[in-house]
Chain A
Amino acid sequence: MSEIHLTINGKPVVAQSGQTILEAAKQADIDIPVLCHHPALANWGACRMCLVEVKGMRGLQTSCTCPATEGMEVETETEKVVAVRKFVLELLFSERNHYCMYCQMSGDCELQDLAYRYGLDHWTYPRPFEKMEVDASRKYFIMDPNRCILCSRCIRACSEIAANHTLGLRDRGARTMVVADLDVPFGESTCVECGTCLQVCPTGALIDAKSAYGGREKDVIHTQTTCMQCSVGCDLDVVTRYQRLLRVDGVWESEPSGGLLCVDGRFKPLYEKRQRVTGPLVRKDGKLVAAGWNEALGIVAEKLQSGSCQGLAYCATTDEALTAFARLFAKVDGAAGRIEPQVAPLGFGQVAKVQDVLDADVIIVTGAQPLEYQRVIGYFIHRAADQGAQVAVITDDENGLSARAAMTLTSAEAGKAVETAAGAGKVVVVYGTEIKPEVIAALKPLGDEAYILALDPARNAQGATAAGLQPQEPSDVDVLYFLLGEQSEDAALLAKVNGAFKIVQAAYHSPLVDQADVVLPTPIWVERTGHVTNLDGSAKPLHAALLMPENVRDEAEALAALADMIG
């Protein structure tokens, strides 16, 4: 890349060769309007909103696709340019229903903003639009084609970012519509509800069901934090208003996901139905009753010093809490461990980062179901396959990745994956706890060249490892302390719990909470501060977007208070 010099609106601008006029202008703080363009998507050049005049070039140029070159003289708001933009907007407004006052996006709509900017004060053309049917077959968001300007951002986002290829266009001319698959309702389509299309839509055509009418951009607060629903740890932009959670967006240009989220991170936590533990509870006369923090912590401190004890944590909380948990149990000479199984190292290869999947030439997936449990990695694998990577799935059961993999092999055939990888450039092995010993042996010849991505099933597995927490089973002790965070315990764990005195620190009610002798509340993801260490080993910050309920305290703080009481 070399530097080039041009002038935009008379202002000298330095750009890099290969940049478009639009990118060069943006760097110089010159605003050129766009509609079909989105920085997270490939350049498109369809809507003509970004037209500019370039001295010496015939006709107007779409700045979102036209490369900036040395000595170029660009004008972005000439009379001619403005007239064309206005014309385009007038056509868009006459094509479908843009009665803004009935639209949830009014105030935050890129189309409406441009109409104000260019002074559209009346309908220039008759509005022949027919009513099109709204599709509300998906749970989390709605498609209203009446507001759609056919910019195709959603289609490209689905293909380029989510690599899901659900969306396409039906027909041509006035009846063109964004449709799913073979024109089926969105809720019955291959859509995985990642919400990427929703996030890029410039108009009110794709509307989030939860945050609709919840507040305009000017009314809301954005808080950047990290998703705690799986070990990928995507960056989240959490949108709140008056202490109400409205929406979650992805953060473009963040690591590791680059703005891509999955349904577990973007939508599901907003539909939480479990009943919250809102303050400490202690068992009195056989019943759990509300208690003050001092009383509850006092009982716990006394119990922990009065007999043998064991602490078991779901790695569903912060680095700080897991560290404090391990410290507390070291202090009382108790055992402390994690509840989830852990992925064992393979014994060869180099540690991969999540993004290594994207430029791999061969990806071998085994003993893991990333499309179910670390979904963004599943989508990354699809994306790599779109770019020509060979995907080999080694499994004796079903695996969602098989559908688009180059090959699906049984454990006995694992050697074939190694053959495919031979001389293939970058090889990434993605594996989980279900990996079979014979597959490990078969993959060993890949050697230390191969990149290894271990998908630990625990959300904050790395934080737990750093705190020294290894998998443990409940043992025969006097006092059992469960740190559950937002995780509800599974039936298997419950079955192993004996008659010990039980302390449970959890965000939600569950059968284990109901059996506890002392219950301490915990915050949930959106209320957390601290850090969580993701698969890539980076300690990512958590920022609270909502206040904790009055009687809830952060685990790390409560655990430190306990340690102090024990002295």
Chain B
Amino acid sequence: MEERMMHQVDETVARYGSTDEALVEILRDLSQQAGYLDRPTLAAVAKKLAVPESRVFSVASFYSMISVEPLGKHVIRMCQDAPCHVAGGRKIWETLEQALGIQFGQTTSDGQWTLMPTSCIGLCAVGPVMMIDDEVFGNLTPEKVNEILARYREQDGGAA
């Protein structure tokens, strides 16, 4: 496991070059390969590029396409910008947190759901808007959110 990870890091760093500038690309690539960047991987990258761990972590946690926590089976991204907010986003936000029992930025303990805020996804006309994985849902109401979640749960075989 450890060896495999080290191999992956070595290979990826070799591909982009072991320079400070390549850091974002290296992290993005590794995150895509493994789904997220665990701490040993981040530490290995820091060591390999001889940059402080704090910097690697700052970069990794800054970009939304890189994750430093394991993500759930489904990732919900809810628009947090003003147009969705005025269209009732706050209610949807709360409904999601309540329904899943987690806060934004967290993943349910059964590993099914990750709740993430996102910036505008360009569908303000049908706000509030959220994405589940690659699918977009607009004109959300609390009832609608609960329905959608129920549908996903059913598809997943009644789990959580």
Contact = CB atoms under 8 A, between A and B. Distances in A.
Nearest to B37: A182
The interface residues of chain B, by DSSP majority, are classed as: helix
B56 to A, nearest CB: 7
A181 B43 CA distance: 9
B58 A165 contact: no
A171 B39 contact: no
Nearest to A165: B52
A159 to B, nearest CB: 8
A273 interface: no
Contacts of A167: 54
Interface residues of B, number: 18
Interface in A163-207: 165-173, 175, 179-183, 190
A182 B105 CA distance: 17
Nearest to A183: B57
Contacts of A182: 39, 42-43, 53-54, 56-57
Interface string B23-38: 0000000000000000
A419 B80 CA distance: 59
Contacts of A180: 54
Interface residues of A, number: 19
B103 to A, nearest CB: 8
Most buried by A among B42, B43, B62, B80: B62
Interface in B49-95: 52-58, 61-62, 68, 80
B79 to A, nearest CB: 13
Most buried by A among B39, B57, B104: B57
B39 A168 contact: no
Given A182-B39, A182-B43, A169 B62 contact: yes
Nearest to B103: A130
A350 to B, nearest CB: 32
B117 interface: yes
B93 to A, nearest CB: 11
A170 B58 contact: yes
Given A130-B103, A165-B55, A168-B57, 14 more contacts: A155-B54, A167-B54, A168-B52, A168-B55, A169-B62, A175-B105, A181-B52, A181-B53, A181-B54, A181-B57, A182-B39, A182-B42, A182-B53, A190-B53
Interface of A: 130, 155, 159, 165-173, 175, 179-183, 190
Interface of B: 39, 42-43, 52-58, 61-62, 68, 80, 103-105, 117
13 contacts: A130-B103, A166-B54, A167-B54, A168-B54, A171-B62, A175-B105, A179-B57, A181-B52, A182-B42, A182-B53, A182-B54, A182-B56, A183-B68
